[in-house]
């Protein structure tokens, strides 16, 4: 029995002596600076997989291993005099506990499923890093959502237990070494100096103390994690856990609202007119930079009128900062919109007034892969990738809205309001403004939604849309057309959902304007080919069900002035069936519903019913490419491709050419 266990016996004389000495000890704080070894369990476990040493630690539920760190014992007065510094260190210590808990759960998973995973890793060694990333994200969310260490009150309870434990142990050791009479005769200040020195020596060189202390801390943390461990035991016998991790399209967030769990192929982002205006302004670089003015993009419409600025906080509004934002406005790209959509999705997924978002989640959600270090360890993301996200966050943090007119719904009635404010507000854990710079890349930030968005996230007025994952996963430079189209048509699908008018045609000139494409009268054929190619790729990827020209006559394309005809033409872009099904609950009951299955309809003219499939079969049998046939018949490659797929009806002239070629 330890001496401080005698506290349990209130009749023991030694207890009275112990309490007398303890009462003379001034309040103190224990400050621990961890030598953070990322993923103590999982990296070591995976590198040596399987590892008997780590398996024993997992079986014994050794959550918090004894690690290298620096421990400082600080008097309460000194702590309060340097509260800002010590608060940050305290927060870091809390994160270390949560990180070790997460790492333990990852190791526990590997230990439990070792028999199933080992053969898989033999055939595909990189698979363990893929599973590791997904596991860490999963258990990190679970630990932060469930553990009682996640709130300030529970942390204070843990800290109080921690200090009481240390005081009782140290007082008992001092009594054993010096005797009660000697200690009791000391002046209070001298007793406290002796106490602090004894505690420092224990942390510095007393292996017996450190081992016992670590074991007892593990018992405490194990109780705190009892809910997580119970969930793990419930899942333990289910191979669905492995199948889920090996699947595709898994979202970063585990605890997601119904919008994001309903369709794994889509993100959930805001769909209100303000958000759409912001994404288009950034994507299309619509900001105007005038001398002495902050970069500004404007909109004038019946439902939304006003401006969007890149405007820093008041204390940062200097000439050099204005010049920097002028340069940033000209460098805006799809990466900035990707980060904005990712940020919006992660915020909505957690449903809180102030949401914690891990920096790496903004990279992971976009499908970016971590690099591997020289020993095969997961090395994290490239510095250039992190800096890209940092710059995008800095731009998002500067977004300031000044809206003269915004149409909002209050109690079901439309009301025009005037608004101004930030789009998003970033802060540190202590509530102070978050400073984004390359010198200190943040591990996480705390996000609050701007007041301009609040009316669109409440109750029946809530406006969100499904955004196909490819919008943020496609390469922001090579697949820019596709990304822009996805964002625009997904917004249109949401606005059409009330009337289920998904097959409402899109005017080509409007489509190009919304995605920021300038018409080049010198080479209009390139623009047409690129648009049709982008739509073909989206159909192949399953982002859209099909696309086709509406009431189109290809013969007009051989005439002078065909560009004007083409720009005035319209295109039908059908959403995937899963998006249509998802929006069904918000359709108006009296609306005439479009068929929920947008499988390609047969041609209306019986004579053209099968020409596309027959032509394609004949072409393939002859071993010819679309380009070869296109050159032979003098019909555009994209037009033939559309007809083959059933996405377009051939004109009478084109039909005759194709039929003659077949026969």
- Cα→Cα distances 498→261, 275, 542, 585, 593, Å: 22, 19, 23, 9, 10
pLDDT of residue 151: 66
Q: State the number of CA atoms in the 13 A half-sphere of 173 facing the CB.
A: 18
Q: Choose the CATH number for 604-662 among 3.40.190.10, 1.10.10.10, 3.40.980.10, 1.10.260.40.
A: 1.10.260.40
Residues near 459 by beta carbon (within 8 Å), at least 6 away in sequence: none
Strand partners for 560: none
Nearest to 538 by CA among 464, 616, 650, 647: 647
Residues near 571 by beta carbon (within 8 Å), at least 6 away in sequence: 505, 506, 508, 511, 535, 547, 548, 549, 550
The residue ranges of DSSP E strands in 271-353, in sequence order, are 296-300, 304-310
> Quick one: which H or E segment has residue 211?
helix 207-224
Dihedral sign, CA of 74, 78, 80, 82? negative
Q: Three-class SS of residue 428?
A: coil
Q: What is the rounded distance in angstroms from the CA atom of residue 382 to the CA atom of residue 390?
A: 13
Q: How many helices (H) and strands (E) does the chain have?
A: 29, 16
Q: Which tokens belong to 219?
A: 């018992």
Burial bucket for residue 280 (CB in 10 Å: 0-12, 13-18, 19+): buried
pLDDT of residue 606: 47
- For residues 303 and 398, is the Cβ–Cβ distance under 8 A? no
pLDDT of residue 35: 56
- For residues 104 and 44, is the Cβ–Cβ distance under 8 A? no
- Cα→Cα distances 84→26, 27, 79, 91, 156, Å: 21, 18, 9, 11, 17
- For residues 349 and 336, is the Cβ–Cβ distance under 8 A? no
Neighbours of 85 (CB within 10 A): 11
Return the axis-axis angle of helices 40-47 and 83-112, rounded to nearest 10°: 40
Full 3-state SS string of 109-176:
HHHHCHHHHHHHHHHCCCHHHHHHHHHHHHHHHHHHHHCHHHCHHHHHHHHHHHHHHHHHHHHHHHHH
Q: Three-class SS of residue 395?
A: helix
The pTM assigned to this predicted structure is 0.58
Strands, sheet with 296-300, edge to edge from the N-terminal-most edge strand: 296-300, 304-310, 399-410, 413-422
pLDDT of residue 600: 41
Mean pLDDT by 10 residues, the chain (663 residues): 44 78 88 56 48 63 60 82 80 77 77 69 60 75 68 75 86 90 91 90 81 77 69 54 51 34 71 95 96 96 94 93 95 96 89 82 82 51 88 95 92 88 91 84 88 83 88 92 96 91 91 88 84 90 86 78 90 87 72 47 48 83 82 79 73 76 84
Neighbours of 486 (CB within 10 A): 24
Q: Roughly how many angstroms between the first and final C-alpha of the chain, as a whole number?
A: 99
Q: Three-class SS of residue 277?
A: helix
Q: Which tokens belong to 235?
A: 């899942």
Nearest to 661 by CA among 614, 596, 602: 614
Residues near 431 by beta carbon (within 8 Å), at least 6 away in sequence: 446
pLDDT of residue 398: 95
- For residues 57 and 63, is the Cβ–Cβ distance under 8 A? no
Before 111, cis peptide (omega within 30)?
no
Domain extents for the chain?
12-244, 261-370+382-477, 495-589, 604-662
């Amino acid at each position: 029995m330890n001496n401080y266990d005698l506290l349990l016996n209130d009749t023991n004389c030694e207890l009275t002596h112990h309490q007398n000495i303890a009462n003379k000890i001034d309040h103190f704080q224990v400050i621990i600076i961890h030598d953070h070894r990322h993923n103590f369990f999982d990296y070591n476990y995976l590198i040596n997989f399987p590892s008997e040493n780590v398996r024993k630690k997992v079986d014994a539920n050794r959550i918090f291993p004894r690690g290298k760190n620096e421990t400082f014992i600080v008097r309460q007065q000194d702590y309060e005099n340097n509260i800002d510094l010590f608060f940050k260190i305290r927060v870091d210590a809390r994160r270390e506990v949560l990180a070790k808990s997460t790492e333990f759960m990852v190791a526990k998973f590997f230990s439990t499923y070792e028999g199933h995973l080992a053969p898989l890793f033999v055939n595909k060694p990189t698979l363990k890093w893929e599973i590791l990333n997904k596991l860490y994200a999963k258990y990190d969310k679970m630990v932060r959502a469930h553990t009682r260490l996640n709130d300030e009150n529970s942390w204070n309870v843990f800290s109080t237990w921690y200090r009481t434990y240390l005081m009782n142990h140290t007082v008992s050791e001092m009594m054993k070494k010096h005797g009660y009479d000697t200690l009791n005769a000391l002046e209070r200040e001298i007793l406290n100096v002796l106490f602090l020195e004894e505690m420092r020596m224990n942390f510095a060189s007393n292996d017996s103390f450190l081992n016992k202390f670590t074991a007892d801390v593990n018992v405490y943390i194990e109780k705190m994690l009892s809910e997580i461990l119970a969930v793990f035991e419930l899942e333990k016998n289910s191979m669905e856990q492995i199948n889920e991790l090996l699947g595709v399209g898994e979202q970063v967030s585990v605890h997601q609202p119904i919008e994001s769990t309903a369709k794994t192929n889509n993100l959930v982002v805001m769909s209100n007119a303000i958000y759409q205006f912001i994404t288009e302004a950034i994507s299309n670089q619509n900001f105007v930079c005038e001398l002495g003015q902050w970069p500004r993009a404007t909109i004038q419409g019946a439902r939304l009128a006003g401006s969007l600025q890149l405007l820093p906080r008041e204390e940062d509004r200097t000439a050099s900062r204005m010049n920097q934002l002028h340069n940033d406005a000209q460098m805006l790209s799809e990466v900035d919109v990707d980060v904005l959509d990712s940020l919006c999705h992660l915020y909505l997924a957690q449903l809180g007034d102030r949401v914690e978002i891990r920096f790496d989640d903004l990279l992971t959600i976009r499908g970016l892969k971590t690099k591997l270090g020289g020993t095969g360890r997961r090395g994290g993301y490239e510095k250039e990738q992190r800096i890209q996200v940092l710059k995008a966050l800095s731009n998002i943090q500067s977004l300031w809205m000044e809206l003269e007119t915004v149409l909002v719904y209050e109690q079901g009635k439309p009301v025009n309001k005037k608004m101004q404010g930030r789009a998003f507000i970033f802060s540190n854990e202590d509530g102070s403004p978050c400073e984004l710079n390359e010198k200190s890349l943040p591990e996480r930030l705390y996000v609050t939604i701007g007041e301009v968005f609040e009316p669109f996230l409440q109750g029946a007025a809530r406006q969100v849309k499904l955004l196909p994952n490819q919008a943020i996963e496609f390469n922001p430079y090579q697949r820019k057309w596709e990304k822009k189209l996805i964002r625009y048509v997904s917004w249109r699908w949401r606005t059409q959902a009330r009337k289920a008018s998904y097959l409402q045609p899109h005017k080509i000139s409007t489509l190009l304007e919304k995605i920021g494409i300038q018409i080049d009268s010198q080479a209009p054929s390139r623009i047409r080919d690129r648009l049709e190619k982008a739509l073909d790729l989206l159909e192949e990827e399953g982002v859209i069900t099909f696309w086709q020209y509406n009431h189109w006559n290809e013969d007009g394309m051989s005439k002078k002035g065909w560009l004007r005809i083409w720009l005035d033409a319209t295109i039908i872009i059908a959403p995937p069936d899963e998006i249509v099904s998802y929006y069904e609950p918000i359709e108006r009951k009296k609306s005439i519903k479009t068929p929920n299955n947008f499988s390609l309809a047969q041609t209306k003219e019986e004579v053209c019913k099968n020409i596309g499939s027959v032509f394609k079969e004949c072409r393939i049998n002859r071993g010819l490419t679309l380009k070869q046939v296109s050159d032979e018949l003098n019909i555009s490659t994209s037009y033939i491709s559309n007809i083959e797929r059933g996405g377009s009806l051939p004109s009478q002239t084109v039909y005759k050419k194709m039929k003659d070629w077949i026969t």
